[in-house]
Amino acid sequence: MIRAELDKDPRDVAAMFDSIADRYDLLNRVLSLGRERYWRQATVAAVDAYSGELVLDLAAGTGTSSESFTRRGARVIACDFSFGMLRVGAERRGGASRKGVTVVAGDALHLPFADQTFDAVTISFGLRNVHDVDRALAELLRVTKVGGRLVICEFSHLPVQPLDRMLGWGMKIGLPWVARQFSDNPDAYAYLSESIAAWPDQAGLARKISAAGWSRVAWRNLTFGVVALHRAYRER
């Protein structure tokens, strides 16, 4: 079985996502009990993209989330380093550049875009998988126009620690078991629960975003803090 470890070697992470690409969107819906649609809607509202804007959707996977940003006329670059994920998404849409979404292979630590290219940048459930989070946040700042915005949707922690520990234990046991019913690589979902447990809380991530040079950092909890939505701006 292919799975990544918490050192997040980029080759291991990419290979792991390649191995689950075909059923990734289905498993997301099942494992989130359908909440991923609500989380995506909240992210779209926070990005608030409109006609004439260019949005970077980093760690876009199959590009399911990317399509949501085009509803008001924005153009979207769906970027991911898993070729398997990008291939599945492009096949579903009928091409690598369709319906306002253009697929680009790229690494979050070395984004293949010029400085100040995007009006908004966003990453959902992907920052946690990056080998160097601080560098990725700095790269996102580099490619964002002055006045542009950052939106991060990521698993987080319940504000009550005993409940958060119980949730973490439940995910450690439950995610691989459920994934085993739908996937040939349930070990990938063991990594998911481990990476969530090791991830900083809402305030900790906000400090990282600020340290990377972003301004006006704020967050709000979704589903009681199971997921957190962080938003920030590039002011200079």
Residue 82 has pLDDT above 90, yes or no: no
Residue stretches of the annotated binding site: 62, 80, 107-108, 124
| Predicted confidence (pLDDT) at residue 1 exceeds the cutoff of 50 | no
Residue 2: what pLDDT?
45
Q: Which residues are annotated as a binding site for S-adenosyl-L-methionine?
A: 62, 80, 107-108, 124
pLDDT band at 79 (very low <50, low <70, confident <90, very high): very high
Give the per-residue pLDDT at 148: 98
pLDDT higher than 60, residue 164 = yes
Task: Please tell me the least confidently modeled range out of 170-174, 177-181, 196-200.
Answer: 177-181
> In the predicted model, what is the mean pLDDT of residues 183-187?
65
Distance CA 48, CA 56 (A): 13
pLDDT at 73 over 70: yes
Confidence of residue 49 (pLDDT cuts 50, 70, 90): very high
Distance between CA 64 and CA 57 in Å, rounded? Answer: 10
pLDDT at residue 103, as a whole number: 94
Encode pLDDT of 25-34 as tens digits.
Answer: 666 676 677 7
Over residues 47-56, the mean pLDDT reads 97
The CATH homologous superfamily for domain 10-158+200-233 is: Vaccinia Virus protein VP39 (3.40.50.150)
Averaged pLDDT, 129-134: 92
| Domain extents in the chain | 10-158+200-233
Mean pLDDT rounded to a whole number for the chain: 87
If one compares 4 and 170, the residue with the highest pLDDT of the two is 170
- Predicted TM-score of the model (pTM): 0.89
